[in-house]
Amino acid sequence: MAFTTPTAEQLALYLGRPEIQGERADLLIAQAVALCETVDKPLPDQATAIVLSVAGRAYVNPQQVSYETIGPMSVQRPQGSG
């Protein structure tokens, strides 16, 4: 079975979000596919999971913040959490 690029709707389902910014999601999915294709081209069908993971991390945390302090509160995200 050939690789099929995931849709914005699939990314929303993957992230557990009822709504998603379609154009932004499409851009991030396209970028994730391009990154994956630097490793293997054509992509295998199983690459869908990796593409959704990469696009999802970029969608949820576009600045790739790992530590944030606001006033007396601070949060540190685990390595690789997006």
Residue 80 reports pLDDT greater than 90: no
Dist CA 54 CA 27 (whole Å): 12
pLDDT (tens digit per residue) in 37-56:
999 999 999 999 999 999 99
Q: Locate the domains of the chain by residue range.
A: 8-76
Four-point Cα dihedral 21, 23, 26, 28, nearest 10: -70
Reported pTM: 0.78
Q: What is the pLDDT of residue 61?
A: 78
Q: What is the mean predicted confidence (pLDDT) over 16-31?
A: 96
Helix (H, G, I), strand (E, B) or coil at 61: coil
Structure-model confidence comparison of residues 76 and 42, the more confident one: 42
